[in-house]
Chain A
Amino acid sequence: MEFVVFIIAGLLAIIGALGLIGFKNPVHSALSLVLSLFAVAVLFLNQDAQFLAAVQVIVYAGAIVVLFLFVIMLLGVDQAEDLSVEPIAGQRPIALAIGAGVLALSVLFISVAADGGATGQQSVTAEKVDSITGTAQSATAALGDNQTDGTETIPNIEQLGRTLFTDYVFAFEVTALLLTIAVVGAVMLARKPKGELAPLPVIPGRSGTTDETEELEDA
């Protein structure tokens, strides 16, 4: 059953990724990105990461992709892009070669690692990780029998919450600060420059770079 779910969700994720690369219209690309993200959320569920699956759908599909779509509509760049011309000679073959190289190296690495782990070393490493770090496990061990029977409905969220607010509470606070800074920065960057508040000269579209430097120097 899990295998069937994996195959279907994995195929959908790959189809979504291919659509993201292949569609001419940015809106279609964003929608196929949603497909890919949903499929990855299903894979999270398949691996008992219920909280992350929910967060994946809410944050990625619900917020980030919608933000992308807002920007696409706002800028009016939702017309189709001409993909038939290749602007830089040899860009696509080189890009494909690099992509295939990344894939080949990753799969090679995984296969080497899988050979090492096939002889029952996985449980040994798991114990090692427990004994060495003991950070995440100490919080989960506090749950006692709750964790071992593994039949309760929401073990994952409870464990995650306990760990996040004990061992990783400082990092958690720092992410809050990061998000605040990001919001302030976004407001600053996207503010419409008007009057004397605009420090940059309006650069004429599609002009060469030399003109721009002269304008900048004049100003």
Chain B
Amino acid sequence: MELTSTWYLVLAAILFALGATGLLVRRNPLIMFMCVELMLNAVNLTFVTFGNDLNDLGGEISVFFVLVVAAAEVVIGLAIIVAIMRRRNEATADDLSALRG
């Protein structure tokens, strides 16, 4: 069989759907965060696939910036989780109603 970009796109869709499912199923905020990372990675894979397919470097540039934003997002998110868990142990996502979200 020939390897076309469709294969990569379907794989990225599967990874994205798995990440979304995990985000909705799990209640540990850390694991929910990791699922967000997985979804970002799936989107990165589509960026690289399209960049390779269209012979355009813009796809890889986009992935570079997504990586930077993901790193910043993880740093801030983990700091928030640490700050919350210091105040109340064993917090799950359902307990975090103090912010009236």
- Interface residues of chain A, those whose CB is within 8 Å of chain B, are 2-3, 6, 10, 13-14, 17-18, 20-21, 26, 29-30, 33, 36-37, 40, 43-44, 47-49, 51-52, 55-56, 59-60, 63-64, 67-68, 71-72, 74-75, 77, 81, 87-88, 91-92, 94-96, 98-100, 102-103, 106-107, 110-111, 114, 122, 125-126, 129-130, 133, 135-137, 139-140, 156, 159-160, 163-164, 168, 171, 175, 178-179, 181-183, 185-186, 189-190, 192, 200, 202-206, 209, 212
Partner of B18, one of A18, A72, A98, A129: A18
30 contacts between A and B (CB under 8 A): A3-B1, A3-B2, A6-B8, A6-B11, A13-B15, A29-B34, A33-B37, A47-B8, A47-B48, A47-B52, A48-B52, A49-B48, A52-B67, A55-B67, A59-B67, A60-B67, A68-B78, A77-B85, A114-B4, A122-B54, A137-B56, A179-B71, A182-B76, A185-B75, A186-B76, A186-B78, A189-B83, A192-B86, A205-B88, A206-B90
The 6 tightest CB contacts between A and B, nearest first, are A99-B21, A95-B24, A106-B13, A103-B17, A189-B79, A182-B72
Given contacts A14-B18, A20-B34, A60-B37, contact A103 B13 (CB under 8 A): yes
Interfacial chain B residues near A156, Cβ < 8 Å:
60
In the complex, A125 Cα to B55 Cα: how many Å?
10
Given contacts A68-B30, A103-B14, A189-B82, contact A21 B71 (CB under 8 A): no
Interfacial chain B residues near A160, Cβ < 8 Å:
57, 60-61, 64
Interfacial chain B residues near A181, Cβ < 8 Å:
72
In the complex, A168 Cα to B86 Cα: how many Å?
40
B7 touches A178 (CB 8 A): no
Interfacial chain A residues near B33, Cβ < 8 Å:
68
Interfacial chain B residues near A140, Cβ < 8 Å:
57
B26 touches A72 (CB 8 A): no
In the complex, A140 Cα to B56 Cα: how many Å?
10
Partner of A175, one of B4, B55, B68: B68
A43 touches B88 (CB 8 A): no
Chain B interface mostly: helix
How many residues of chain B get a CB closer than 8 Å to chain A's CBs? 77
In the complex, A192 Cα to B85 Cα: how many Å?
12
In the complex, A138 Cα to B25 Cα: how many Å?
46
In the complex, A204 Cα to B15 Cα: how many Å?
39
B94 touches A88 (CB 8 A): yes
A13 touches B11 (CB 8 A): yes
- Shortest distance between the CB of B91 and any CB in chain A (Å): 8
Partner of A190, one of B7, B64, B83, B97: B83
